[in-house]
Structure 1
Amino acid sequence: MKIDTTCVHGVKDKANLTGAVTVPIYQSSTFAHPGVDQSTGYSYSRLQNPTKEVLENIVAELENGTDALGFSTGMAAVSTLMELFKPGDHIIATDDLYGGSIRLFNNISKKNGLKFDYINTSDIPTVKNKITKETKAIFIETPTNPMMRITDIAAVKDIIKGTDILLIVDNTFLTPYFQQPFSLGADIVVHSGTKYLGGHNDTLAGFLVTSNSEIAERLRFIHKTTGACLAPFDSFLIIRGIKTLAIRMEKAQENAAAIAGWLLKQEKVTAVHYAGLETHPDYAVSKKQATGFGAMISFEVDSEQTAHQILEGVKLIMFAESLGGVETLITYPMLQTHADVPQEDREARGINERLLRISVGIENINDLINDLNQALA
């Protein structure tokens, strides 16, 4: 099946004997056994639940992975991922990561003995030079949050071939609909399912996907042991969201391209960061490794006053954290997504008081541009 059909039809629920078109919510914490040494395949929902299992199979299918694990949040997924490593292990990470990932790495993972180097992973020679004998993983986000830089996934894989270094890709922004990291050499794919996979800003979820059965087994053990599993009802909501993933991504991307072009013409806008612009420094890499550019835009305005004017002036667009829903949201990274990143580091990456980020939704494009226009006036 093509990916848009998989989004709709997914993977069949083997536990469903009723013919229900929608996957049922198996709202049960535990499951009875037919007898000693006999099982229905389920025992306790922390280990597995039929609704969650269907969702995990759908996500694995969409990513062309062998296994996917559902978590209560995206950060729960990343926290579990870090348990693959031991004290002294070194991880190279994109310097322009989601602020929550940086907060976790700096305040929890480092405390547990892991070592990190944050670099511009778009610069492949720099990545190569940072590898040491202790390096166990390269964690990249592409496009990055919030500066929309692109890392050449295949090029990173080329420099670690023949080693035991894991290539981890956060695919939240583009989703498997626009980007397939496993085909480019990734070992593990990360998602905040709260975002585009869910698509409606109504639940939290996270995923780890892998194409390696040994890694999957290790992650499943950590998952059941630490217990941050995705609940049945939340699994149901993400399944429902994925059904419209393809059409939402296409419409949101169409809107984003139009808004990016409009922003470029505004006198008070000094820079626009969108991977779909031919002027973007990584445009060629993006064209090569993805089938779309997504719907995330960051832009810089001429002053902090203008930034505040826009945030307080929008009427249709909402000033809110998060992204990937049907509603268009505008975010102030320095005070929201990256508030816990030290100011010096944040500003060195361009995350200043003039930078705004838009998650473009699926509304009528004229309404969105009119709203931005009146807020800028």
Structure 2
Amino acid sequence: MKFGTKAIHAGVEPDPSTGAIMTPIFQTSTYVQASPGKHKGYEYSRTHNPTRTALQNSIAALENGKFGLCFASGLAAIDAVIKLLKPGDEVIAANDLYGGTYRIFKKVFEKYGIRFHFTGMNDVNEITHHINENTRLIWLETPTNPMMNVIDIAKVVELAKKNNILVAVDNTFATPYLQSPLDLGADIVMHSVTKYLAGHSDVVMGALVVNDPKLQEDLAFIQNSCGATPGPQDCFLVLRGIKTLHLRMDRHCENGEKIAHYLKNHPRVEKVYWPGFEDHPNHLVAKEQMRGFGGMISFTLVNGNQDDAFRVMEKFHYFSLAESLGGVESLANHPATMTHASIPKEERLKVGLVDSLIRLSVGVEDADDLIADLEQALS
């Protein structure tokens, strides 16, 4: 089944009671049982809900995985992964990653005895310096947020398997339309479903996809026991959004390419971070493991500072200044004070996240209008 067909049909069946082509919103907290323990697979909606089941199956299918699990947010999904570990275990993470991920690692889990090492992963060999007998997990994003670094998933997996280490990939920026980490050997794929999968800036949700039955069992236990599950209304909205994922991603990629090239040639722009450029670090890896370069772009201003970035962003019309990404509308973000403010400045600067850096989530509007908006904002 090709991706576009999967997006519309995989994991979704007409409602058996009515024939409804869209999965109903099963807005219920509990389910009637014939007698204690005798039920039709559903007993309480924290544990299972038919609308959520359909969505979990759909997302698993998109990632070529066997098992999907949905959570109340992307961070709730990350939280569940780290709860697989125990005090004394160690995690190696990319040093360029979403600020919320860094925050939950350092501010929440480190005090429970889990140790985190942050390193560059453009060169996979950098990971080896942090591997020891306590290493249980390698966590990576690719492309990374916000510097768009590309990490060779297959090479990370090869290194991890030699050392019996799990690999988890945050696939939010690429989506399963552009990248398939499980096919490259990753153990866990994470999504902030809030972003491209839902696609309309009206849902907060996270998801995990795995192939291993034991991993699924352990994560499902955490999902149910800790209770960070999404409601059926949100699941319905994501099921609706997924049906146009392939169409939206094509437009995000098309617009992203046009805007990346426009910015690269603008006299006020110092540097543009976009995996589609031949001089972008690991561009050849991106060509190999991705099916397109996406609609996420970061750029810095010539001799710019934070105030310069603010002035540009305050002038935007079609690029709305807001947190998040991946919706149909274009967004602009200032990572140093918004999404990555929880990362110490000295750590941000190590990866090039300077105060003038602006991150764009290029939407599906007409590209000419978006370029005109950039032109007037940069003037």
Shorter-chain-normalised TM-score: which range?
A: over 0.9
Question: In the TM superposition, what is the alpha-carbon distance from 1:143 to its structure 2 partner?
Answer: 0.3
Cα distance between partner residues in 1 of 2:51 and 2:262? 43
The residue aligned with 2:116 is: 116
CA distance in structure 1 between the aligned counterparts of 2:266 and 2:37, rounded to whole angstroms: 69
Residues 70 and 207, structure 2, Cα contact 8 Å, conserved in 1 = yes
Residues 296 and 359, structure 1, Cα contact 8 Å, conserved in 2: yes
Secondary structure (helix, strand or coil) at the match of 1:8 reads: helix
1:262-341 correspondence to structure 2 within 5 Å: 262-302=262-302, 303-304=304-305, 305-341=307-343
How far did residue 14 of structure 1 move? 7.1
8 Å CA contact retained: 2:121, 2:151? yes
Contact residue 15 and residue 50 of structure 1 kept, 8 A: no
Secondary structure (helix, strand or coil) at the match of 1:111 reads helix
| Equivalent in the alignment of 1:185 | 185
Deviations along 1:329-377, whole A, 9 cap, x unmatched?
Answer: 0000000000111111112221121100000000000000000001111
The structural deviation recorded for 1:123 is 1.3
Which residue number corresponds to residue 352 of structure 2? Answer: 350
SS in 1 for 2:16: coil
Equivalent-residue separation in structure 2 for 1:11 and 1:65 (angstroms) = 12
C-alpha distance in structure 2 between counterparts of 1:240 and 1:278, whole Å: 36
* Structure 1 partner of 2:137: 137
Output the amino acid matched with 1:122.
N
What's 1:156 paired with?
Answer: 156
TM-score (norm 2): 0.98
**What pairs up with 1:224-239 in 2 under 5 angstroms?**
224-239=224-239
Contact 1:74–1:192 (Cα < 8 Å) also in 2:
yes
Report deviation, 1:160: 2.0
1:11 CA displacement: 1.7
Counterpart in 2 of 1:65?
65
CA distance, structure 2, for counterparts of residue 118 and residue 183 of structure 1: 25
Give identity over the alignment, percent.
45
How far apart, in 2, do the equivalents of 1:257 and 1:12 lie?
33
SS at 2:59 equivalent: helix
Q: Which runs of 5+ in 1 are unaligned?
A: none
Alignment of 1:237-276 (within 5 A): 237-276=237-276
DSSP-derived class of the 1:160 partner: helix
Task: Say if 1:13 and 1:50, in contact at 8 Å, map to a contact too.
Answer: no
**Uncovered stretches (5+) of structure 2, i.e. residues with no partner:** none
Aligned to 1:214: 214
- Aligned residues of 2:69 and 2:208 also touching (Cα < 8 A): yes
Moved more, 366-375 or 33-42: 33-42
Tell me the CA shift for residue 40 of structure 1.
1.2
Residue 17 of structure 1 deviates from its aligned partner by 2.0
Q: For 2:327, give the aligned amino acid.
A: G
Deviations 1:238-276, CA, capped at 9 Å, x for gaps: 101101000000001100000000001111100000001
Contact 2:122 2:281 in 1 (8 A): no
1:225 corresponds to which letter in structure 2? S
What amino acid maps onto 2:276 in structure 1?
G
Q: Cα deviation per residue 1:199-227 (whole Å; 9 max; x = unaligned)?
A: 00001000011111000000001110000
Amino acid at match of 1:70: C
Distance 1:287 1:80 in 2: 31
Q: Does 1:89 align with 2:89?
A: yes
Distance in 1 separating the partners of 2:37 and 2:274: 56
Note the C-alpha offset of 1:122.
1.7
* 8 A Cα contact 1:73 1:206, kept in partner: yes
TM-score (norm 1): 0.98
CA contact (8 A) 1:34 1:40 kept: no
Which of 2-11 and 225-234 deviates more? 2-11
CA contact (8 A) 2:320 2:331 kept: yes
CA distance in 2, matches of 1:183, 1:366: 36
Q: Distance in 1 between matches of 2:12 and 2:332?
A: 37
Offset at residue 306 of structure 1 (A): 3.0
Secondary structure of the residue aligned to 2:207 is strand
CA distance in 1, matches of 2:221, 2:193: 21
Task: Show CA shifts across 1:74-115 (max 9, x none).
Answer: 001101111000001010000001000000000011011100
The CA distance in 2 between the partners of 1:312 and 1:12, in whole Å, is 43
Indicate the SS of the match to 2:111: coil
CA distance in 2: counterparts of 1:157 and 1:123, whole angstroms: 13
Taking the aligned partners of 2:168 and 2:16, their CA distance within structure 1 comes to 34
Alignment length (residue pairs)? 377
Distance of 1:370 and 1:248 partners within structure 2:
21
Confirm or deny: 8 A CA contact 2:97 2:141 kept in the other structure.
yes
Query: 2:14–2:23: 8 Å Cα contact kept in structure 1?
Result: no
Aligned-partner Cα distance in 2 for 1:95–1:179: 21
